[in-house]
Structure 1
Amino acid sequence: MPESILPISHHCSSTLERQLADQRGRRTHDPLLSLVVPVFNEEESIDIFLEAVTPMLERDRLRFEIVFVNDGSRDDTLAHLLDCSMRDRRIRVVNLSRNFGKEAALTAGIDHAKGNVLIPMDIDLQDPPELIEPFIARWREGYDIVYGVRAARARDTAAKRVSAGWFYRVFNSMSPVRIPANVGDFRLVDRRAIEVLRQLPERNRFMKGLFAWVGFNAVGVPYERPQRVAGSSKFNLWRLWNFALDGVVSFSTVPLRASFYGGLAIAAFAVLYALFIIGRVLLLGIDTPGYASLIIVVLLMGAIQLVSIGIIGEYLGRLFLEVKGRPIYVVEGVYEEGAVRPPQA
């Protein structure tokens, strides 16, 4: 490493230490922890989740609340959650009026969480509760965001591992906001970062990107992701593809620029090739019949135009949804101790 870089690195390190020290001085010794758990048709997982998480939090003597967000479940998930809420006042249930999707449900949980720190978790326990303690420890060191990093993806299929790796590489190469590889929504977020997230009004939400966009000092904690304890995943290949597409379109205009520059390159090639054909005919008198090549070029250009229109359509469709200004979600009711109260404004 060149010597000129060393002072810069040392300066950056000392700046981070000062920031962490300043935040350590602001940390409360007895924070309220909010677990935000979006659920959709997960009635069989609720008791398993609570039996794993609640004793662990009580053992660590943490003040906590568990905010379940029922995302329009069609089974007995809501009824089961209300029973749990009646038995334990630390459990609150935010019931959405219909299914709005996980990103909207997670947003609803963030908006209704009261804690000094917040941790989004999946109810299937693939986000291991054992990481909560190291998350809190790094937060006490001064970090505002502590995210879990999957150390390995051995339980995923080969296709999912390859596609996930490609997604992170493509996204980070195209977007000015970089997201860490193999990181999901499972993380600890400090209250000041939560307040910034609550100010973001966009309807098409890619929470991984939004967590990274807010900035602040962040650090990763590696872990092994276990299998689901119950139920089945609600994400299939098609939904994962659309999820990745939402992420790229939400945080990058590179596809639009690529379409533009691709059109320029093809136009330049067409002009040069036309000059070549004209020159060959005028100078050498060689005729160029080429029905097959003409058809291929026409089909190729038509395909390129349709792809370009499709890219523009993806951006226009999202702009259309944003301009209408509909709310991200609609709350039917917020239940505490089994009783409903009016939703927050």
Structure 2
Amino acid sequence: MKKISIVIPAHNEEGNISLIQQRIREVFSTLENYRFEIIFVNDGSRDNTQQKLEELANQFEEVKFIELSRNFGHQPAVKAGLDYATGNAVISMDADLQHPPELIRDLIRKWEEGFDIVFTVRTYPKQISRFKRKSSALYYKFLSLISDVNINEGGSDFRLMDSSVVDVVRNMNEADIFLRGLSNWMGFKQTGIPFTAGERATGQSSYNLKKMMKFAFTGITAFSVKPLYMAAYLGFLFSAFAVVGYGIYVIHSFVAKTEISGWASLIMTVVFFGGIQLIILGIIGIYLGKIFKQVKERPNYIIRSKNF
């Protein structure tokens, strides 16, 4: 029998743990010749998530848990589950039930057809705001434009990876890991399955604007140095603009025998170019910060306890 590992990061998901475990069991009750394990990764939860996981692990043999020493973030938590998964294929998904467990059947079917990576493409239900849909679409378009890999619009961390692919991920030691980009960068034989995101079963999402912005910058800087080239291009562009503008100013002064005065225009020009310089320095600083974090070679996560 082939074994499927389900990796589920959980941060303050005490109300969803039992629900998703029950639905996964129902899915595999209809699948013959497959056994499974569910690896919950407690990513520094402050509620009773760990207590719920220990209770489930005592009741069901397939339930495993990894408790991290603090909140390391979604991507390191997924990486922790992948590192300890033992299945012939590994499926990663969220604990809030927005990733429907019933789609596991389709993921496995595509894997059996010979695909090494089966990713999912998310579409939003009608009740999701127009702003959320547009901002998400613009983010993926911008990310694909500015990075060296193509990121599928509507991509998520709900995917299946063959054990050979998981072995490659285990051997990667990136300080800021970005699994959505890595799955595209690695290659292999891939296919996608569309799905409509469900509603969160219980609780509130901890994925706030700050974390979304950090995730966006991680995705942009993890796979490309194009922002550095853009900074250089901006420098050349504004230098040329300054030379041309100064030339026009000199010609105007000679022809009209006047001069353009006013401290407001001067101050605005200084502020504008000062802002451009800060943006460029910020881009360089982000890359230097990533190098700083990488050379220290600290682990992506620290395990406090586990039941296997």
- 1:43 equivalent to 2:14? Answer yes
SS in 2 for 1:228: coil
Q: In structure 1, what is the equivalent of residue 84 of structure 2?
A: 112
Counterpart-to-counterpart distance in 2, 1:76 and 1:310:
40
Q: 8 Å contact 1:155–1:227 — kept in the other structure? A: no
Q: Which moved further from structure 2: 284-293 or 209-218?
A: 284-293
Q: Which structure has the greater CA radius of gyration?
A: 1
Equivalent position amino acid for 2:21 in 1: L
Tell me what 2:108 maps to. Answer: 136
Match of 1:227 in 2: 199
Residue type of the alignment partner of 1:59 = T
1:209 to 159, 176, 181: 181
- 1:72 CA displacement: 1.4
Give the gaps of 5 or more residues in structure 1: 1-29, 337-345
Structure 1 segment 5-24 matched on structure 2, within 5 A: none
Q: What amino acid is the match of 1:80?
A: K
Could you say what the CA RMSD is over the residues aligned between the two structures, in angstroms?
1.5
Q: CA deviation at 1:284?
A: 5.1
Greater Cα offset, 155-164 or 190-199: 155-164
Match of 1:238 in 2: 210
Equivalent residue letter for 2:149? V
The DSSP-based 3-state class of the residue aligned with 1:215 is coil
Q: 1:85 maps to what in 2?
A: 57
SS at match of 1:186: strand
Deviations 1:178-203 (A, max 9, x none): 11111200011101111111121111
Displacement of 1:153 after TM fit? 4.2
Give the 4+ runs in structure 1 shifted more than 6 A: none
- Which has the higher mean CA deviation after the structures are superposed, 134-143 or 315-324? 315-324
For the residues of structure 2 that align with 1:287 and 1:224, how far apart are their CA atoms? 63
> Which residue, 57, 60, 63 being the options, matches 2:28?
57
How far apart are the structure 2 equivalents of 1:288 and 1:277? 8
Look up the match of 1:165: 137
Name the CA shift for 1:280/1:124 in 2 (closer, same or farther; >3 Å).
closer
Q: 8 Å contact 2:124–2:133 — kept in the other structure?
A: no
Residue 235 of structure 1 aligns with an amino acid whose one-letter code is Y
Aligned with 1:265: secondary structure?
A: helix
| Cα distance in 2, alignment partners of residues 245 and 154 from structure 1 | 28
| Bigger shift: residues 135-144 or 235-244 | 235-244
The letter for the 2-side match of 1:101 is G
Which position in structure 2 is the counterpart of 1:200? 172
Q: Deviations over 1:243-280 (max 9, x none)?
A: 11211111222221111111111111111222232334
Q: Return the offset for 1:208.
A: 0.9
Q: How many residues align?
A: 307
Listed one character per residue, the Cα deviations across residues 30-55 of structure 1 (whole Å, up to 9, x for unaligned) are: 32100001111111111111121112
Structure 2 residue 98 is matched with structure 1 residue 126: yes
Q: Is the 8 A contact 1:197 1:214 kept in 2?
A: no
Answer with 52-61 or 101-110: which moved more: 52-61
Q: Distance in 2 between matches of 1:284 and 1:83?
A: 86
Are the counterparts in 2 of residues 153 and 161 from structure 1 also a CA contact under 8 Å?
no
**Identical aligned pairs, as a percentage?**
38
Which residue does 2:160 correspond to in 1?
188
Q: Deviations over 1:208-244 (max 9, x none)?
A: 1112111111111112211111122111222212211
SS at structure 2 position matched to 1:122:
coil
1:250 paired residue number:
222
Distance apart, 1:282 and its partner CA: 4.2
1:305 aligns with 2:277: yes
* 1:274 to 1:143, Cα distance in 2 relative to 1, 3 A: same
Asked if 1 retains the 8 angstrom alpha-carbon contact of 2:4 and 2:35, the reply is yes
**Equivalent residues of 1:118, 1:190 under 8 A apart:** yes
Between the aligned partners of 2:103 and 2:139, the Cα distance in structure 1 is: 26
Contact persistence 1:97–1:330 (CA under 8 A) = yes
Unmatched runs of 5 consecutive residues or more in structure 2: none
Residue 168 of structure 1 deviates from its aligned partner by: 0.6
Q: Which residue in the other structure is 2:253 paired with?
A: 281
